[in-house]
Amino acid sequence: MNDLILALQVLLNIYKNGAFSSIELNKSVKGASNQAMVTRLVYGVLQKDVQLEYYLGKTVKKRPSKTVCVLLKLGMYCLVYIDSIPSYAIVDSLVEICGKIGKRQLKGFVNAVLKNFDAEKIELPSGNIERLSVESSVPLWLVEKYCDQYGYGKTKEFLTHGLFTKEHLRPNLRKWKLSDLQTYLDKERIPYAVSPRGGLYVDNCATVRRLNEEGKTTFQSATSMAAAQAMEVKDGERIADLCSAPGGKSVYMSELASIEITACDVRDHRLELIKSYVSRMSAERIEVRLNDGAVYNGDFAGAFDKVLCDVPCSGLGVAAKKADVYLNASEEKINSLSRLQYDILCNASKYATKRIVYSTCTLLREENEDIVEKFIKENAGWQLVESKQYLPDGNGQDGFFIAILDKAV
């Protein structure tokens, strides 16, 4: 009961007040008797929001208040996905909670809706795209965009992968090589799988957490490493990382060559994240600096050999890791982001003398290929060397885009 109440309180803050799921959950979960269950409930409801919204629309004739909608979504999620709690206990608990949150007059309504709810009896949409939206719990407008850009078959493939639970771990190259880390994990009898980027897929166990705390390793996605590798940093180069927080790519580049890095971000608290990362990994020659990548900085003009633009984006490529991504996504926000992304890329072109790497963790052309194509068309001094769109593969690869742009000689 207490775990359900706590999960509902967190969800109400997210749905009604726009709170960020990870921050809100971290603040609240400490009071839970079963932290893992509260986390599962909150993230589960958010990840299945489109599907639960469909069930709700097919179950109630008149939509209740937002508070009751969230309560019903929580109940429906439990009834479909939580096997460890009997159905009658879920319904009874949520009816009681309904009274506790000031909706006593609706206890009968909540009881009737949840008792009569049976997901298997709810007919799914007949159209392929509409059905895929419900089954994958991805907004319809976004599924339509994906199908336009990738085709229905490929879209269905990357939207219906199972959940990948392992973390991508890389060694701190200042302290040891990948082979050293493998030898150590073998000795500790910790299983792993090698990734193509120089890291390992592992379970987030106590030994791995200790290695991270000691700065011997760090979690960094394979695609994030790929973006840093695309910079091809060489000894003596000056590098700018315009959107650096939390600092993983800057720190990794600093391990690949003896270089000077200026790691920037637009908010003071994000600079603290970079500094913490730099300190934990004992990184060297990284200057952390407050700078808005979307605003031209004359001090940076021609000051760097290469610039990394891992720009703010919709984050749709890592939706499996960020439960509230779809709640906050909209076509209007993507259009706004694309303008910001283009401004950052244009500024980077005035700072770099050799190369720019442009990257995002999203899947839409509007934030990826379209930005780069427009930039190349309007900036004759730059040429596209290579670009690649990574799609989620269910085996640890995130949705990610990387474009390498070189200054024309």
pLDDT at site 311: 98
pLDDT at site 310: 98
Domains of the chain: 2-121 (1.10.940.10), 128-159 (no CATH), 221-407 (3.40.50.150)
Q: How far is CA 118 from the centre of its chain?
A: 32
Contact 7, 42 (CB under 8 A): yes
The residue written with tokens 């194509």 in the block is 373
Specify the DSSP class assigned to residue 138: -
Dump pLDDT digits (tens) for 253-300: 999 999 999 999 999 999 999 999 999 999 999 999 999 999 999 999
Contact 102, 109 (CB under 8 A): no
> What is the spatial distance between Cα 128 and Cα 224, in angstroms, rounded to a whole number?
33
- Strands annotated E in 292-360: 304-310, 352-360
C-alpha closest to that of 263 among 242, 282, 248:
242
Taken in order 335, 340, 341, 345, the sign of the CA dihedral is: positive
Q: What is the token pair recorded at 256?
A: 């690949």
pLDDT at site 1: 54
Residues of the chain scoring pLDDT < 50: none
pLDDT at site 220: 97
Q: Is the pTM of this model over 0.85?
A: yes
C-alpha closest to that of 347 among 313, 379, 384:
379
Contact 258, 396 (CB under 8 A): no
Taken in order 52, 56, 57, 59, the sign of the CA dihedral is: positive
Q: Is 233 helix (H, G, I), strand (E, B) or coil?
A: coil
Give DSSP secondary structure letters for 156-202: HHHHSPPPP-PEEEEE-TTT--HHHHHHHHHHTT---EE-TTS-EEE
> What is the spatial distance between Cα 168 and Cα 170, in angstroms, rounded to a whole number?
7
Dump pLDDT digits (tens) for 326-352: 998 999 999 999 999 999 999 999 999
E strand or H helix that includes residue 128: helix 128-136
